[in-house]
Structure formats: C-alpha cells, structure tokens
Amino acid sequence: MTTRTTRVAAALLAGAAALFAPAAPAAAAGGTTARLTVDTETLVLTPTGKGYVGTLTTTISNRGRADATAGLRITEPAGGSFTGLDNGSPWFTVGMEQNRRVLESYGGRVTAGTSVTLRLDFQVWTTARAYPMTALGGSVAVVPDGGTRVSDRDSFRTVFRSTSGSVRNPRVYRQATETDLTISGGDVTLTRQADGALLGRTPVTVRYGNDAPSFRLDVRASLPAGVEVWATDPQDLPSFPDWFDVPGGRFMPGEERTFDVVLRAPAGTPAGALGSGSFTVAAVYESEPVADVDPADNSTTFSVRATD
C-alpha cells in the first residue's frame, strides 16, 4: 500500500468513527431554571380605635428562564399582628421568633421574567401613642415550588405613625411578652326552674392590662359538686361544664369587659349553700398559655347557693 493510499484509508476510518461515535453533550443553556427574588417596602402603620393597621407591599420577581410557584415565609414585626394577604391566600403558623409568629402562605405563580405584587395586612393591638414608633425584625422570604430552601429574603422596617400622623424621630416599640390580666366575680344564687333544675348567673369582669399578644382568654371553673357552667351572656363561642372563653374576641390594652356566666345544677339539688367556686383566667397565644406578670389576681372566688 502506497503512502497516499494509507493516508486516504486513515481519513475514511476517522470519518466513520466520527459518524457513529456517541454525540457529545451540548453545552447547557445558562439560566434555564427559575430564580425568585423578593423585595419589600416599609410597613407604615396608622393608629385606629383598635390599635395600628397597615399594608406591606411585597414584590416577587422571577429572574430566571422557567416559570415557578412561589411560597412565602413571613416573620411578623410584632407578635400576633399578621392578618392575611389581600388576595385571600390561606396561611398558617410554622414557628416563633422572639414571640413573633413565622407564617407560611402561597405567593402564586410567577412566570419567567415577570413579577407579581402582593399586599400583606397587619394590625398591632396596642394603644395609639402621641409619638411615632419603629420596629425591626419583620421579613418576607420566598421559597420556590413548595420546597424548604429559601431563595431570597428581604427584611422590612415598620413605622407607627403618631396620633397626629408624624413619622419623624420615632421611638422603639417594645411589645409586652407577659399578660397582665385580672378577673373578678360575685356570689351566685341558683333558682329552681320548671323542670326542677336550678339556674343562676353572676357578672364577671375581666381586664387586659397590657399589649402582650394573645388571641383568646380561657377561663377554668372550679365548682361545687353537681354545678356546671351552662353558658355565657353574650355567647360567641361554645362553653363547657368546667371552662369557657371570654366573649368578644381580642382585647386592647387596658380594656375591661363585663359579661354574665350562667351556672346550672341538676334537678334534685337541695336548697341551701352548695359550696364555693372559682374562675381562673389565662391568655392563649397560638394554642399555648401565656405567662402573666401577677398570677395572684387571675382568679376570683365566690359562693354558690340554691333556692326554691
């Protein structure tokens, strides 16, 4: 075989090898995944008759080249202050950070190269001041496609307007973490009814002394044998034989609320002194009881009598 023939054969073999060899992987196109970021503005709270209210504008951007679903992780600037998203998305608490809730919600679908704007509503149940205030610690994080890893987080400043509307030279807002509750009640006389059972009511007064966050006030009853809680008046939540919730929802600091508690004893209960009872109040925040600055005034005692 001549030198020229050898060179031609080698070239043909190389070409065949190249033709039937596995194709080399193409270079990956950059940025073909979603890349979510989040930006927040300052939360400005305005005083009302029920604390301060305001809306936080939040923008989620998808800077990648694939569509994505955004999950939100929200840390409140004050405990018990987040009230929801203006688009009605459901939300739930996943933890606590310095007595402030950490919540998760749905941020919606964000197509590649676009942004969506959400509005988060807040209400801080504290007394309006004549001076402005500020709070740090609030943040919004974005988590793509229902995962657990945060893609981006943005902290926001919270400003409380004064009662005159000023935001200049704010003081730091410090929210109480322990409640300051008191409860008082009176003696109860149970009266025989047509069916033989006995009913009686007593006015009970509860005072909420500060702005520690809680969502309801639970009252435990210790009563003489056979006597049970029958109802509250007004009644906006169910009551049970040995406990009830204070009607009327959340309290403002310094608010005092009086309502009746109705007690019942069964038919066959004799007339006369039945013994003593007590009511003990406690605040509940995210299903957990809240410590009180002075537990001694969280209980009230009373006597119970039956009459024909």
pLDDT by 10-residue block (mean), the chain, 308 residues: 37 35 34 84 97 98 93 97 95 96 95 96 98 96 85 97 98 98 98 97 98 98 98 96 98 98 97 98 96 98 97
Confidence (pLDDT) at 154? 98
Phi-psi domain of 248 (left: phi exceeds 0; alpha: psi -120 through 50; beta: other): left
Residues 6+ apart with CB under 8 A from 283: 179, 181, 212, 214, 216, 217, 218, 289, 290, 292
Confidence (pLDDT) at 148? 75
Confidence (pLDDT) at 32? 60
Confidence (pLDDT) at 1? 40
Confidence (pLDDT) at 214? 98
Q: Is the peptide bond before 234 cis (omega within 30 degrees of 0)?
A: yes
Confidence (pLDDT) at 33? 80
- In this structure, the number of other CB atoms found within 10 A of the CB of residue 76 comes to 26
Between vectors from CA 123 to CA 121 and to CA 129, what angle results, nearest 5°? 135
pTM more than 0.75: yes
| Letter string b/e over residues 77-88, b meaning 16 or more CB atoms within 10 A of that residue's CB | bbbbbbebbeee
Asked if 65 contacts 31 with a C-beta cutoff of 8 angstroms, the reply is yes
